Structure formats: C-alpha cells, structure tokens
Amino acid sequence: MRRSRAFIPTSKEAPNDATLPSHIFLSRAGFIQQVAAGLYNYLPLAKRVIRKIENIINEEMAAIGAQEVELSFVTPAELWMESGRIEKFGKELLRFKDRKGNLFVLGPTHEEMMVNMVRNRVTSYKQLPLHLYQIKTKFRDEARPRFGLMRGREFIMKDGYSFHATYEDMSREFDAVEAAYKRVLERMGLDFRIVEADSGAIGGSGSKELMVLAQSGEDTIAVCDNCEYGANIEAAKRAARAKIPQAPEEGDFAKFLTPNVKSIDELASFFKVDPYYTVKCVAKKCIYEEGEEIVLFFIRGCDNLQEVKALNATEALDIVDVSEEELEKIGLVPGFIGPLDQDKAKHVIDEDLKDATGMICGANEKDYHFVNVDMSVLKDAAYYADIAEVNEGDICPACKKGKLSFTKGIEVGHIFKLGTTYSEAMKAEFLDENGKSKPFVMGTYGMGVSRLVAAIIEQHHDDNGCIWTKTTAPYLVNIMISNIKDEAQLAYGEELYEKLQKAGVEVILDDRKERFGYKMKDAELIGFPYTIIVGKELANGNVQIYDRSTTQKTDVDANEAFDKIMEIVS
Ligand code: ATP
Ligand code: MG
C-alpha cells in the first residue's frame, strides 16, 4: 500500500469521552470512527487487524475440528421466548417488528439460533459430537457503552457451540477449546490468564474466562503467587483461614449491653477482638420481575459482600442499597441486626459462618449484641451461600500454599459448560445407543474479536501511540522516505517496497510530501512494528531500521536492509 493513496485519517484530536489509550489511539490513528454511542465504523487499518485475528481464530478452530457457519443477525423473537431468555436479557435485546408485525431481535449471542439449526437435523448419537462456530456482528443495547471498542453496542464476536451425547464428551471439548483459545492469544503475542468465572445469566455448570492483563481492565482477578490458580473476583474462592489471633474469650452465650456500638470497627474494639469474630449484616434490596424484597446478607466482619455472588444466591435481577428508614419500617434495628431470632427479612448467610463459634452478632435490639454465638444453631433454618469477596493475601484454594493477589484483566473470551439448559427448553433431542430420546449436552464458547483489537493496544502502547504485535499489525513494515524530492531515496524506497511485497511481507510505503518529523510521529501513532528510514545517510550507503516496541534505531547497510528485515519478520 502507498501511504499517499491510503485512507488513514490520523488526527491530533481524541474523542471527548475517550479515557483509555486504546480508545484514544485507535481513534487518533484512523482505525475507527464513532457514529453513535457504542457504534463504530472500522476503517481500512482496523479491518486488516480484525482479519488477522479472524485468521488466527479460524486456523485454531479448524485444528480442533470446529466448522464455520454464519447465522442470520436478525433473529425471530419466538426462539427467545422458547428458551425463556427474552425476559432475562431485558433491555439489552434490541427488538423490532417487520412490516408484517412479526417481532425480531438483533442477535446478542446465538445459542437459540444454533440449537434451532441443529434440532431435528442431528437426530442420532452417531452424528455427535458436533462443533459449529461463526464470527459475526452482535448487538447488545448496553446500558453504558464506553471505552471505544472495549464495550460497544455493536461488536464482533466469535461464538462457538458444541453438541454432545454425554457430559464427559462435552467436558473433553471444553478442554480442547480452552487449549485452542490459549494458542490464539499466544499467537497474538498477548499476556493473559485463564481464570475461573461466574456463569451468570447464561446458566451452566462451569465456565472460564480469558483475561488479557492490563491496568485498564474492568475485571478484577485473583491470582495465586504459587500455582496456576486464577479466578474472576466474582467467582474467586479461598482456603479456610488459619486461626486468627485476637479471638474472643471463651464463655457462655449471652446478651451484652453495647451502647452506641454500631459499626464493625466499634464492635471489634469494644470487645478487643479481630473483626473476623464478628458478624456483619449487609442489608440490600433485591429486585425481581415480580417486585422487590429486602434481603440481609450475613458475613464475617472482616469480609465484604461480593455483589455478583449475592446476585447468584438470590437469583435477583439487580441488587441495590436500602435506607435505614426502610429497614426500620419493617422492624429492623440498623446497627444491631443479627441472624438469630429474627424473621423480618430473608437471610443469606456466608458459608464460612456455618460452623463458626464464639461469634459476636447483633441482637436485633437497640444497644445489644449477642456474644459467644454458635452459628451452627441456625443450621437447618438458614440459607447458606458463598457470598463473601476474597481478600488479597488470602490463601489459594487450589494449592493451599500460595497467597492470592489482585490484578486487572480485560475479558476477551468466555467458555461455558452449558449442559442441557437450552436443549431441554427448546426440545433439541437425539436418540442414544438404546434408542432413548435425550437432550443434547452443550458447550458454548465466545471470544470478543473487536474487543481484542482494543485489548492488544491496552497491553501494547506508549505515550506516542499503538505498538502492534507482529502477528496483529495492520502492516508489519513501513518504508519511510524522508525526503520525497530526493531521487535516490525515492528510487531505493520504491525498489525495497516492490521486493518486500514480492516476498509476501505486508508493507506500506510512506511516499507523502510531508516533513520527516510529521511522518515519523504518524508512524508511531499508528504503531507499525518496523519502520525502515530512508534518509540522508543513504548517500553513505546506510538506512535505519526503527523498532516500534523498543524505540531503537539500528543502522544497516542499504544493500542488506532487505535480508535484515526478512530475518526479523520471519
Ligand atoms: P462483559 O462481562 O464484559 O459484559 P459478557 O460476559 O456479557 O461480557 P459474553 O456474553 O461472555 O460477554 O460474550 C463473549 C465475549 O464477547 C466476551 O468475553 C467479550 O470479549 C465479548 N463482548 C461481550 N460484550 C461486549 C461488548 N459490549 N463489546 C465488545 N465485546 C463484547
Ligand atoms: Mg462473560
């Protein structure tokens, strides 16, 4: 490509709302153009990067025997009613009617469509397993589209779906996809972690996320410093805690006067115990389709409520704060709420409190707490769930040795052991070896293609712009003719350009009549991995190779530049 002919509208101006490097640089370097909130045009450079990502994905999918298909973007709402997801997805689903009044949905993901395509076509265990995928535009009317390609409303996803006769076979495929996704990200030159994830609204029994490590990531992940364990904080677990010092003195259960002692800090210092031995009540309002309900979450005083875990435990659509007045209205005493003798509101108790003894908790009476509480007295009556957030420094649940620390990640992929949720709801069945009808056991595997474009830049940039990895760059080599009026420079540049093109290297020739400094800034902003600078030194037989990632310039003999570049890029 000749830069003089290329449509790469670079600019000094970043969009007003852009805060992330990927959003700023992809806009300024002429990769993307925003047309409305969460809607972007992909310009030629972005298209080239997207194609590269797609090629890598296609190759790795072929290697595990997955077949590419393409499903209609506009999907009949009926299918969403069949699966029951039309309500669950809520406002993120963009719905509309055609001229005949039929209701449709722009596909935000394609489980229903894929099940619909396979049912009644695959009818025997002999035709299983089957793995189909597509790379396709998706639409989700996100409440807060932001950060450029990171969270768009329209975006590109690679979505795969596998069908199996047994859970074991699905589990085998899940592992194969995990390995394939790992290769995809490795080939793209990304630093990433595969972590345990929350399965959320999609259902299923197990899921993992692929997280590209970057400070700007929206997800917090807990990683072990000793083993491979990593988990989204929404799903992270920890090993049982060793004996914590500052335990309360042993004694009998009693009600204790604690005037004005409301917060956990006050309570812990009043009794001179570690907050670990106190029970914290986090009161919230759970929102359901049918209405709302106050729910009391009980956790150890040293812990915090994990909202996604709380959502899963209550199956609520949303969880919001509740005021003291609202609590008082139903007869609760804020500051002194405890799980014993109290039926004013629904309780969820953290699993870690199940057998705790010697605990201190509110007595549901102003200025009183109970001491020496044996939490196991609640056992049968209570509802337990894992609702506490792990803390940095907690012990790893996998190796039981290492410590957990937090890091930020960008979710670029999510793979699920889906099971039979959709096949049962949509009556997608096959005949097993004994002629018995059974629902397909399914897996589903998503990867955010357009989000990956942004994630690469979040991980690879500096103050001057993008730094593409070798396998994802829109062009690998940029030939910079410093002074286009210098005939020798022009002739050399043209010849090298031809040669590299013939050798199959993706090369762009900067043949614009602009100042060297301006063109160099432009090249840095766009982030070509290598720029060959053809300047004054050519008269002495030298050119320079500029490496964008190290920002080092190396002198090379002009006659050897081609071989040198071929060596670097191969
Ligand atoms: P998130 O938690 O970031 O909202 P999600 O869990 O809703 O994502 P999935 O349903 O698991 O997303 O979709 C599979 C993949 O599609 C995600 O891992 C992500 O890479 C990508 N993706 C999802 N939503 C968006 C979006 N709004 N813009 C760009 N990519 C997205
Ligand atoms: Mg997800």
The verdict on the CB of residue 417 being under 6 Å from ligand 1 is no
The verdict on the CB of residue 108 being under 6 Å from ligand 1 is no
Give start and end residues of each alpha helix (H) in 460-537: 487-502, 516-526
Q: What is the pLDDT of residue 201?
A: 54
- Count other C-beta atoms under 10 Å from residue 276's C-beta: 19
Q: What is the pLDDT of residue 324?
A: 95
What angle (nearest 5°) sits at the alpha carbon of residue 132, between those of residues 128 and 138? 150
Ligand 1 centroid to residue 442 C-alpha, Å: 20
Ligand 1 centroid to residue 215 C-alpha, Å: 18
The verdict on the CB of residue 411 being under 6 Å from ligand 1 is yes
The verdict on the CB of residue 414 being under 6 Å from ligand 1 is yes
The verdict on the CB of residue 446 being under 6 Å from ligand 1 is yes
Nearest to 548 by CA among 453, 472, 449: 472
Closest protein CA for atom 23 of ligand 1: 448
The verdict on the CB of residue 451 being under 6 Å from ligand 1 is yes
Ligand 2 centroid to residue 212 C-alpha, Å: 13
Ligand 2 centroid to residue 22 C-alpha, Å: 21
What are 69's two structure tokens? 């298909």
- 48 by Cβ neighbours in 10 Å (0-12 / 13-18 / 19+) ranks as middle
User: Could you identify the atom of ligand 1 that is nearest to the CA of residue 209?
Assistant: 18
Ligand 2 centroid to residue 232 C-alpha, Å: 11
Closest protein CA for atom 12 of ligand 1: 414
The verdict on the CB of residue 155 being under 6 Å from ligand 1 is yes
The verdict on the CB of residue 158 being under 6 Å from ligand 1 is no
Ligand 2 centroid to residue 208 C-alpha, Å: 9
What are 370's two structure tokens? 């109970």
* Tokens 């509208």 -> residue: 9
Closest protein CA for atom 18 of ligand 1: 413
The verdict on the CB of residue 413 being under 6 Å from ligand 1 is yes
φ, ψ for residue 39, nearest 5 deg: -120, 130
Closest protein CA for atom 2 of ligand 1: 411
The closest ligand to the CA of 210 turns out to be 1
Q: Could you state, in chain order, the average pLDDT of each consecutive group of 10 residues for the chain (570 residues)?
A: 97 93 98 96 98 98 98 97 90 95 97 97 98 98 92 97 98 97 98 88 75 94 93 94 87 93 94 96 93 96 96 91 95 94 91 94 96 89 92 95 96 95 96 97 97 98 97 98 96 98 97 96 98 97 98 97 94
Alpha-carbon distance of 457 to 147, in angstroms, equals 12
Q: What is the pLDDT of residue 204?
A: 56
Alpha-carbon distance of 343 to 92, in angstroms, equals 36
Q: What is the pLDDT of residue 342?
A: 81
* Adjacent-strand bridge partners of 221: 232, 407
Q: What is the pLDDT of residue 343?
A: 86
- Count other C-beta atoms under 10 Å from residue 359's C-beta: 22
Ligand 1 centroid to residue 160 C-alpha, Å: 14
Neighbours of ion ligand 2 (CB under 5 A): 414
The verdict on the CB of residue 450 being under 6 Å from ligand 1 is yes
The verdict on the CB of residue 219 being under 6 Å from ligand 1 is no
- Count other C-beta atoms under 10 Å from residue 503's C-beta: 13
What angle (nearest 5°) sits at the alpha carbon of residue 497, between those of residues 495 and 503? 105
Task: Please answer whether residues 286 and 292 qualify as being in contact, where contact means their C-beta atoms are separated by less than 8 angstroms.
Answer: yes
The verdict on the CB of residue 514 being under 6 Å from ligand 1 is no
The closest ligand to the CA of 155 turns out to be 1
Ligand 2 centroid to residue 538 C-alpha, Å: 53
Alpha-carbon distance of 320 to 307, in angstroms, equals 10
Alpha-carbon distance of 453 to 455, in angstroms, equals 6
Which mutation among 414, 418, 458 tests ligand 1's pocket best, with the greatest number of atoms within 8 A of CB? Answer: 414
Closest protein CA for atom 8 of ligand 1: 411
Q: What is the pLDDT of residue 381?
A: 76
The verdict on the CB of residue 412 being under 6 Å from ligand 1 is yes
The verdict on the CB of residue 140 being under 6 Å from ligand 1 is yes
Alpha-carbon distance of 29 to 45, in angstroms, equals 9
- Count other C-beta atoms under 10 Å from residue 263's C-beta: 12
Task: Please answer whether residues 356 and 375 qualify as being in contact, where contact means their C-beta atoms are separated by less than 8 angstroms.
Answer: yes
What are 308's two structure tokens? 């996604």
Ligand 2 centroid to residue 46 C-alpha, Å: 24
Nearest to 486 by CA among 535, 559, 533, 521: 535
